[in-house]
Amino acid sequence: MNAEQTALLNAALDYVNRGMALTWFDYGQKFPQHLGWNTPAKVITTPEQARAQWGNGQLFNIGLVHGLGVVKTCSLDVDQVDWTRAALAEFGIDLNAWRAAAPCVQGNPANFRLEYRQPPGRDLPLVKLQWPDPVDPKKKVVVFELRAGANQDVLPPSKHPNGQNYIWLNPLPENPADHPEPPSALLELWRNWASWEKELQVVCPWATPAKPKTTARPKEARAYVDVIGKFNQASDVRAILETHGYQPKGKNRYLPPNSTSGVPSVRILGADKVFSDNGSCPLNDGHAHDAFDCYRILAHGGDWTTALKAVTEQLGIELPQRPAKRKTGPNLEPDEPRIDRPATVRVNVGELPEAADETEAALIRHGAPLYQRSGYLCRITRLMSMTVRGITRPQGAVAILPLDTDHLLDRMARLIQFEKWSDKKGDYIRCHAPTAVAKTLLARSGEWRFPVLNGVVSAPTLRPDGSLLDKPGYDPATGLLFEPQGVVFPVIPEQPTRQHAQTALAFLFDEVLSGFPFAAAHDRSAALSAILTALIRPMLKSAPLHGVDAPLAGTGKSLLADGVSLIATGSSATIMAFTSDPDEMRKRLLSVLLQGDAVINLDNVQEPIQGDALCSVLTQETFTDRLLGVNRTATAPTCCTWLATGNSLQVIGDMTRRLVRIQLDSGIERPEEREFQRNLYDWIPMNRPALVNAGLTVLRAYIVAGKPKQPIKTLGSFEEWSDLVRSALVWLGEADPCLGRQEIEDADPARMKLRSLLLAWFATFKSAGATGKEAVAKANETRINDEGDEERCYPGLWEILNDHFQDRGGNVRPQLIGEFVKKNIRRVEIGARFEGSEYGTRMMWRVVITDQNRFQKFSSEVKQGAQGAQGAKPDFAPLHPVHPFSHRPENFGSEKPGKPEHWSIEISTAKPDLSFSPVATDILNLLRGSPGGFSQEEIVRQVGNGKGRSPALIELALTRLAKEGAIGRVNGKWVAQKEARP
């Protein structure tokens, strides 16, 4: 191979070792021509594939396929550098700073490309910015491209069609983990491309933009042209925008405070005019606005009269009097109050804080239904049926909404008569509720005296001390607002007995749950626990998610979930679509928590339930995340009841211990044809008071009895729930609702994977350590059995590695093994865990048994699982038996039907194969020089010292030599056989 071929090969090997997916094409070209080059089956992801393609003596260019690597990538391809720099600078983005901070490729000296690592969980699209050709406007010129997915970029040292080689202006980082992701501004532009593209088109210097209209003055404003002109001369539109929360972005761009797109689409035009095409901006009306218009719209809601009065006060001039209109109505004094207000607040110049203090006190004193929650003021409302961002709320659902300026002004005006001084009258006169007072109140986060709202309940509930909260209105002890919605609830007994509780529990089951086909007694108990949890959720610090599972649709999962909500809230559950996108899931979680939804159902879940955010919501008392479209965070209480429904629900990772399963199984082919005793959607609302009474009677009876200890273990992270709801059910003779959790944990793919690897690793290496590379080598070993057939020496290890640690090319990668073990280091499972130690630049992993009895139990069950079906010998065991944690039994059989597979090492009696490795040769030479032999520890010291050979590798060579008949054991020492030759 010549220097060019060697350089291409070395580069390709480096790229695949970083987890990139590659393709190839003719040297000096830019695009692949072979079919399927951007499919998983055709990309190159392993060193072996790279050597086959670039180490065969031919020259091929290297292409990076962004979306198909173990590490996904993306790029900013700058075709027109000056144009791109100018376009981004318009929004305050420095292209030169991006170029200096990222790996940069150049083929054509006139442009460059920035290569990034794509953020996990985000599949970015391919988009491009095109401007009209300045020479021929009918044509388009690509300014820059944002490249990702199944698209490719040419990588160095490939050859450009211009004859020059592609080079790295900024090389890839030495550590692949340091490969940067796109800057946040670039990601924002990429994700919201549909909104950004039109703004980037406007920046084009030679494009002809649409000319905005100028706002026409109404008749009542035309008499005040001089006032408006003076205000425009004395004012700066930028200052007005920034005063009202607009954020400057770049030279002439602003982002509205309530923007959800993040696009700064408010522009400063010539002559100090402002134009907006942001959908949530009040200035967006198709017109260009001067300073007065901006002030009128933003500060006074577009009202000309109040804006003109405010402007004259600021300028210190008299407002010209308009001609008096002919009176057509009764002769009323303009200052005469039409409606009596219970409070009066006088607004004086320079006394805004005092006016805000008096206003807050008056609102609280006269019972304004305003509260503080999670750092903002809020109010209670009822919603129409709607679906927003994957969240569906039923008709009449109670919601907690943030208080905006307009609503606060309305509340102020209804309760308070505001007055200001009039020089003309020489006295105070009535005035509108001042906007400045409302804004000041809203801005006082952390200083309010309004009551703190933790949640809204629509039925009686229990306080944390076990007492009843049954009086409508705000409860200062808990921060809960009891809003019964006109429903009258019966008196709940203060001292119910166990007999009362048993009767109440039977009533709940017989009237609501008896028609559901529960698979087992603990499933029935879990359904009861969901109802009881929803009734008292605000008193609990945390509560598990109840998952309603069934093998077929139409079994009644959603009906059961809605039944729980109908009892607790009087309406169906809020429906939230589950998503595996972590960012979107966090947004949805914060949204439902901020609005105070009491019962939330993750309906019809079709993918594994998992995610850090959902886990946090279930176990923590509050949840914090960034508000959508605003550069600040919000914190919301998590006191809501979570349900999930789905066919054959699958739960992964930490979620397995946070879910209580309710299994439904009708046992028939068409469960949707079953008939229930009654229509629960009609019956529950009519009988809801009695159902709520029954549920609280159950819990009160257990509390009054002293909460006697039950023969169950406390559930970690949900101690309060376990000690009350769960224990009360067991106390009344119901099965433990958590009995189904073991099946969920055993079916967890991550847990099964770890269990299988622990068993296979220990069966292969026992307590010795081994690297991922040594494990792959061990798994690939074969031997000839007594029947003359080739079989794997360690089929258990081979199957688990091939099932779970293959790359896209179908090859087992040691790096994937190491990453998985490192993620689960010291995690105890089936009485064992992995521990690691450094071995040079690599890590050695070994299995440490922490509970011998539990580990032996699982090992024994593993062996017995296959012996029964195949009639295998007692000392044979398969890799994956039929066992609760074995989720893919179709892959766990032997390679030949009826032929057993081995856990333990077996010594072959076949004819020796003496084509040994250097390690084996050194061992033979050592043993041949000492007829008395050596112990294994002595061999490890002498053969391994200073040569970088691990104990596992030496043990591997000893085992192979013993199988070949070259060495044997005498009195605990290894000795060479006479016929063995190196």
**Per-residue pLDDT tens for 613-662?**
999 999 999 999 887 666 678 888 999 999 999 998 888 888 888 999 99
pLDDT tens readout for residues 575-596: 999 998 898 899 899 988 988 8
State the pLDDT confidence band at 221, using cuts at 50, 70 and 90. Answer: low
pLDDT grade for 663, boundaries at 50, 70 and 90: very high
pLDDT digits (tens, 9 = 90+) for 24-36: 999 999 999 998 8
pLDDT score, position 868: 41
Assign 942 a pLDDT band (cuts: 50, 70, 90): confident
Strand partners, 74: 116
For residue 19, the model assigns a pLDDT of: 95
User: Mean pLDDT lowest for which of 95-104, 705-714, 781-790?
Assistant: 781-790
Tell me the pLDDT tens digit for each residue of 228-258. 888 888 888 888 998 888 988 877 888 888 7
Q: In this structure, which amino acid lies at residue 278?
A: N
Which DSSP helix (H) or strand (E) runs through 669? none
> Which pLDDT value is given to residue 585?
92
Report which listed range, 69-73, 265-269, 623-627, is most confident: 69-73
Read off the pLDDT of each residue in 798-822 and give the average, rounded to a whole number. Answer: 89
Q: Is the pLDDT of residue 889 over 70?
A: no
CA dihedral 46, 49, 54, 58 (to 10 degrees): -170
Least confident of 455-469, 599-613, 702-716, 923-937: 923-937
Q: What does the buried/exposed string (b/e) look like for 824-841 if buried means 16 or more CB atoms within 10 Å of the residue's CB?
A: beeeebbbbbbebeebee
| Nearest in space to 564 (alpha carbons), one of 582, 547, 586, 583 | 547
Listed range (262-276, 279-293, 509-523, 879-893) with the worst mean pLDDT: 879-893
What's the mean pLDDT in 933-948? 78
What is the predicted pLDDT for the residue at 727?
96
Residue 567's pLDDT is: 96
Identity at 917, one-letter amino acid code: S
**Contact at 8 Å (CB) between 363 and 444?**
no
What span, in angstroms and rounded, lies between the C-alpha atoms of 260 and 456? Answer: 28
Rounded CA-CA distance 624/594 in Å is: 10
**C-alpha torsion angle, residues 765, 766, 769, 770 (rounded to 10):** 20
* CA pair distance 224, 212, nearest whole angstrom: 24
- The pLDDT > 90 percentage for the chain reads 47
pLDDT > 70? residue 222? no
3-state SS, residue 480: strand
CATH fold for domain 498-739: Rossmann fold (3.40.50)
- Rounded Cα distance, 515 and 678, in Å: 9
Helix (H) or strand (E) segment spanning residue 423 = none
| Least confident segment among 308-317, 554-563, 726-735 | 308-317
Helical ranges in 824-950 per DSSP H:
852-870, 918-928, 936-944
Checking if the pLDDT of 223 tops 60, the result is: no
- Contact between 28 and 163 (Cβ < 8 Å): yes
> What is the predicted pLDDT for the residue at 872?
35
> In the predicted model, what is the mean pLDDT of residues 820-842?
88
Structural Rg of the chain based on CA atoms: 37
* 671 vs 643, higher pLDDT: 643
pLDDT of residue 873: 34
- Which are the contacts of 533, defined by CB distance < 8 A and separation ≥ 6? 540, 543, 546, 641, 721, 725
22-36, 304-318, 779-793, 802-816: which is most confident: 22-36
Task: Please tell me what DSSP assigns to residue 812.
Answer: B
**Res 676: pLDDT:** 80
DSSP 826: T
What's the 3-state SS for 79-109? CCHHHHHHHHHCCCCCHHHHHHCCCEEECCC
The answer for residues whose C-beta is within 8 angstroms of residue 959's C-beta and 6 or more apart is: 905
Q: What's the CA gap between 804 and 894, in Å, rounded?
A: 18
Under the banding of pLDDT at 50, 70 and 90, the label for residue 283 is: confident
Residue 567: which H helix or E strand, with range? helix 557-569
DSSP 427-462: EEEEEPPPHHHHHHHHT-TTT--SPB--EEESS-EE
The pLDDT score that the predictor gives to residue 331 is 41
pLDDT at 320: 59
At residue 336, the pLDDT reads 43
pLDDT at 187 over 60: yes
Q: What is the pLDDT of residue 49?
A: 95
Instruction: Inform me whether the pLDDT recorded for 723 exceeds 90.
Output: yes
Mean pLDDT, the chain, rounded, equals 84
**Nearby residues of 979 by Cβ (< 8 Å), 6 or more positions away:** 912, 965
**What pLDDT, on the 0 to 100 scale, is given for residue 788?**
75
Burial tier of 200 (Cβ tally within 10 Å: 0-12, 13-18, 19+): buried
Q: What is the pLDDT of residue 712?
A: 92
> Does pLDDT of 884 surpass 50?
no
Count the neighbouring beta carbons within 10 Å of the beta carbon of residue 447. Answer: 9
Q: What is the pLDDT of residues 450-480, one digit of tens each?
A: 999 999 999 999 999 999 999 999 999 999 9
SS (H, E, C) 711-761: CCCCCCCCHHHHHHHHHHHHHCCCCCCCCCHHHHHHCCHHHHHHHHHHHHH
What predicted TM-score, i.e. pTM, was given to this entire model?
A: 0.52
Is the pLDDT confidence value at 899 over 70? no
What's the confidence (pLDDT) of residue 226?
A: 72
Strand 427-431 and strand 73-78: pairing?
unpaired
Q: 918-976 belongs to which CATH class?
A: mainly alpha
- CA dihedral sign of residues 798, 804, 809, 812: negative
- Whether 887 has a pLDDT exceeding 60, the answer reads no
Comparing 762 with 954, the larger pLDDT belongs to 762
From 435, 873, 503, 507, select the one nearest 684 (Cα to Cα).
507
The pLDDT of residue 329 is: 42
Provide the 8-state DSSP code for 949.
-
d(CA 779, CA 793): 7
Predicted local confidence at residue 980, as pLDDT: 43
Whether 61 and 29 have beta carbons less than 8 Å apart is answered as: yes
Per-residue model confidence (pLDDT) at position 546: 96
* Residues contacting residue 829 through CB under 8 Å, at least 6 positions apart: 751, 754, 755, 758
